[in-house]
Amino acid sequence: MDGELSTALSLLAIGMITVFIVLLLVVITGNLLIRVVNRFFQNGNQLSTAKIAAISGAVEVFTEGRGKITKIEKN
Amino acid sequence: MTAFQQIGEHPEYLLMVLVAFVLLYLGIRKQYEPLLLVPIAFGMLMANFPGGQMGVEKVDESLTLYQIAKQHGIMNFVYYSLIKTGFLPPIIFLGVGALTDFGPMLRNLRLAFFGAAAQIGIFTVLISAVAFGFTMKEAASLGIIGGADGPTAIYTTIKLAPHLLGPIAIAAYSYMALVPVIIPFVVRLTMSKRELKINMKYQDKLYPPKTPIKNIQTLKIVFPVAVGTVVSLLVPSSVPLLGMLLFGNLAKEIGATTGRLSKAASDTILNAATIFLGLAVGGTMTATAFLNMQTLLIIGGGFIAFAISITGGILAVKIYNLIAKKKINPLIGATGLSAVPMASRVANELALKHDPSNHLLQYAMASNISGVIGSAVAAGVLISFLG
């Protein structure tokens, strides 16, 4: 029993440290990715001006001038 | 020919049928995790119809699957091919991944730490269970209920103590369904009104994030690939669960080109896997396997594991608040256990009760999702040390 309890205690220490380290790495990786993506893929979500003009035109015609674009999302 | 004689000789069958009726009532009428509780309860019902051959039993594992099906019935075939092999829980994680949005976590990365603190219940209950006479493997399977993640609990139990699968699955899913009761109970005991009123959006205004995200779509695609690589190098035994979760998520985030894959994972595959998992887990709950002292201890221990995990998350936030300028509502720590998204919804409702402008769902989801990663890693640690 004593042996098992000490194994259980070591598992508590090892398990919690591992979970913390893994999530720390997830946080570090996430922050790193944010910087890399911000630097090299900044415009990934933005549509070209030609496409925005085409969408605006289509909305203008379809709603007979009453529609207003508030957000364009790329799927 | 009929089952009456066997029921007369073994009235415990009748007791199990009654337990199955209660679980069906809870699933159908009270809507406690009905997608899993209903198949589990019905599997349990079928397993306890004497002569029906739908109960999972110990079989000679050198038999082929065809021989198992022929000699022991189709439920044993399902159990030994899909459950005992550990196949279904990762498949469910695939579907869960296709339904998960890492966006809230990426926007609030520092909150991911509280997903780690909330795993403390797993390991503390492991120690107590050993003191109560459970073997190490059984204690680990009992403790993992504190991770509040059904598939993870099932996966760990299959690997470490398959004979406890029925009661552990029932305890895990019942307590997940009781999150709206357990979190407010622990919060009442551990948090002050002043802490409940900490407004996350106001804190964000006071201390805005240093690096705003400029392209979330690309980030969401790169993130599962990078995290999968990092975690698999550190805890390889968590890869079956986490790898599938991240793959399902990647398929979702890529968008239209892999839309069919993510739709299949989150719809057809997830639903089929849930049916077979539920029925087979229910099939393990025969009178001989379920009606014993261990089941009662598992039900009690599971609750304690849950409560300690929630408390661990809350305390971690309190400690953080002692040193940080930007305060965090300790409810965020309470959602560090998995149970996505119910834990976040409950935390949000609690915060709104004390301050109607305090919408903290997005923040709670950050630690809630990191809790899924945390519990899968904790399971990986237990399996690699004890498996």
User: Are residue A35 and residue A63 in the same domain, yes or no?
Assistant: no
The segments of chain B whose pLDDT lies below 50 read none
- B231 close contact with A: CB closer than 8 A: yes
**Same domain, yes or no, for A34 and A52?**
no
Considering the domain architecture, whether residues A10 and A31 belong to the same structural domain is answered as yes
Are both A17 and A38 inside the same structural domain? yes
Cross-chain residue pair A33–B219, CB shorter than 8 Å: yes
**Same domain, yes or no, for A50 and A32?**
no
Number of domains present in the structure of chain A:
2
Cβ-Cβ contacts under 8 Å, A36 against chain B: 222
Contacts of A44 in chain B (CB under 8 A): 215, 217-218
CB contact under 8 Å between B109 and A30, yes or no, is yes
The whole-model pTM stands at: 0.84
Q: Taking a contact as any Cβ pair under 8 Å apart, which residues of chain B between 116 and 135 contact chain A?
A: 116, 119-120, 122-124, 126-127, 130-131, 135
pLDDT one-digit tens code per residue, B85-136: 989 999 999 999 999 999 999 999 999 999 999 999 999 999 999 998 899 9
The C-alpha of A53 sits at a distance from chain B's nearest C-alpha, in angstroms, of 22
Interface contact flag, A37 B219, Cβ < 8 Å: yes
Same domain assignment for residues A57 and A37: no
Taking alpha carbons only, the member of B145, B206, B183, B162 closest to residue B375 is B145
Selecting from B211, B373, B386 the residue whose C-beta is nearest the C-beta of A34 gives B211
Residues A9 and A28 in one domain: yes
Give residue B312's pLDDT. 95
Inter-chain CB proximity B123 and A23 less than 8 Å: no
User: How much is the pLDDT for A43?
Assistant: 63
Residues A54 and A37 occupy one common structural domain = no
Same domain, A19 and A6: yes
Looking at residue B50, its pLDDT comes to 85
The whole-angstrom separation of Cα B368 and Cα B179 is 13
- Supply the pLDDT for residue A45: 53
Instruction: For residue A54, give its domain range.
Output: 46-75
| Residue among B41, B4, B49, B39 at smallest CA distance from B21 | B41
Min CA distance, B156 vs chain A (Å)? 14
**How many CB atoms within 10 Å of residue B336?**
34
* Contact by Cβ (8 Å): B331, B364: yes
Q: What is the pLDDT of residue B7?
A: 80
To the nearest whole Å, the CA of B150 is away from the closest chain A CA by 18
Task: Write down the pLDDT at residue A74.
Answer: 64
Give the pLDDT confidence of A5-57 residue by residue, as tens digits.
Answer: 899 999 999 999 999 999 999 999 999 999 999 988 876 556 677 788 888 88
- Asked if the Cβ–Cβ distance from A41 to B110 is below 8 Å, we say no
Question: For residue B115, how many C-alpha atoms fall within 13 Å in the half-sphere facing its CB?
Answer: 35
